[in-house]
Structure 1
Amino acid sequence: MPERSVLIVDDETAIRDMLRMALEIADFNVLESDNIQDAYTRILDNKPDIVLLDWMLPGGSGIELLRRLKREESTQELPVIMLTAKTAEDNVIQGLDVGADDYITKPFAPRELIARIRALLRRATPGQDQGRLEVNGLVLDGESRRIFVGDDPVDMGPTEFNLLQFFMSHPERAYTRGQLLDHVWGANVYVEERTVDVHIRRLRKALQTDMADYSGLIQTVRGTGYRFSSRGL
């Protein structure tokens, strides 16, 4: 019985066929779309667990669909991996800034992509590492996977939540980008270290709430990486 469902959004039939075969062998249920309009409908109707989204699509770009997914409450936490032939750093950063959880550049090995999918799904549905953490009025509820300042919820994506949960569980220690990748993304996951910087930036933005600015909790440690500290806040 397939364990999870994956929506492939790509206008190249050969790419979809290759991905479908690899994913079905890996015991995933596979959905397919070749344009953003059909993809959006399938996401609402079928509620896939993860989306593989091509950058260039007929009728609009994958970035356009990604923006819409991250803007709407019902889909904003849906994990998305961008499939792209674009290798320029500004294109990669644009996708991550809009809300993509990861990206992979064509051509790629199906085994690598499946490893990334499994790692991303593990992050989106963590195991028993739960509990309630609080720092200076900022509350993280691991059971409901929600963040609060007082009674007000704080919106953030699943990767930012996992980063914050790790930081709040390990305060006052500096971590390199590589260490954060291992702890939060998972060991042996193929993710560029600069991905950490993008998610740190998004986490800081989410922590700038109307009630208080908690972005200063995430400190940059020059020459090392990042640290979570409430000292001096």
Structure 2
Amino acid sequence: MSLRIWETDPEAKPRPRNRYVEDVVGYIHGGLMTKTKPLSLSEWRFTSDDPEVADRVAELFGGEVEEWDTEKANNLQVLSESSRVDLILDDPDALRSRMVLWGRKGIIHACDGVYFVDGEDRGQPCGCPPEFTVRKANAEKGTGPQPEITLKARLAADEELGFFLYRTSSWTLTKELHEIENAIAEAAEGGARIRLTLSLEHVEFTTKKGQHVDYHRPALTDITADTTPLEAAA
């Protein structure tokens, strides 16, 4: 016989542990939240709750360690001077993706674009529109899910520091995701780890209507098998 107390108060039920992020020592961000709106950056921002990790990141990529106003544990940030970070993935599962719609109390909808991937409806058709443009428009209106791409990796410059997590909802990266996943799978053949570069690429152009567009987009490039012996990397 097991306890059934969560049946009467499901909101209070403890959430399952997320082993994917348990050993993460820091996070990589392409932007930050100001008092009024999110701000995109041209160089990577790192956050951590470990002073030694933050100090090492500043040493490797430039910038200063500073505290930032957050209710989360990772209260130290480094606004680095680098738009490129070389990373090591242990295996292809280090890159994950899904389509997610969040509500005030958590996830409302999580799918792979065709089927639900979470909750009681897992494996059932999700009902999302087939057209990419309609999906994107619904996400911008807040009525449909948006991409959630997550990368768990070690810094190639200092693997012993531990794992860092990067998340993005970039639609541009989503368009390239199938090619990236194929390249990672190919690089991992034979059980090899994967080396790649996470970068912020500058994009600038003028639309047909004369509007100037200027932003930085995330990119995953230079995907190869890591030839460093595990003993040397440890």
TM superposition score category, shorter chain reference: under 0.3
Q: Larger RCO: Structure 1 or Structure 2 (Cα < 8 Å, ≥ 6 residues apart)?
A: 2
Whichever structure has more helix as a proportion of its residues is 1
Structure showing greater radius of gyration is: 2
The TM-score normalised by the length of structure 2 is 0.27
Whichever structure has more strand as a proportion of its residues is 2
